[in-house]
Copies of this chain bind each other. A is one copy, B any other.
Amino acid sequence: MNKCEQCIVRQFNSLKTLTKDELIKISACKTSKIIKKGEVIFKEGEYLNGVFCIRDGVCKVSKMSENGRNQIISLIQQGSMLGERSLISDEISNLTATALSDMEVCFIPKEEIIKDLEKNPNFTLDVLKTMANSLKNADNLIVDMAQKSVKQRLADTLLHLLERFGLNTDAAINIQLSREDIANIIGTATASAIRLLSELKKEKIIDFIGKDITILNKKELEKIAQGF
Contacts and interface: CB of A to CB of B under 8 A. Distances in A.
Sorted nearest first, the 8 A-B pairs with minimum C-beta distance are A146-B187, A65-B147, A138-B138, A145-B145, A88-B132, A71-B143, A89-B132, A145-B146
How many copies of this kind of chain does the complex include? 2
A140 interface: yes
Interface in A134-148: 134-136, 138-148
B94 A132 contact: no
Interface of A: 63-67, 69, 71, 73, 84-85, 88-89, 91, 94-95, 117-118, 121, 124-125, 127-129, 131-136, 138-148, 152, 186-187, 225-227
A129 B90 CA distance: 9
Given A63-B140, A94-B140, A139-B95, A147 B89 contact: no
Given A135-B135, A147-B187, 8 more contacts: A65-B146, A89-B133, A91-B136, A95-B139, A121-B124, A127-B128, A138-B138, A138-B139
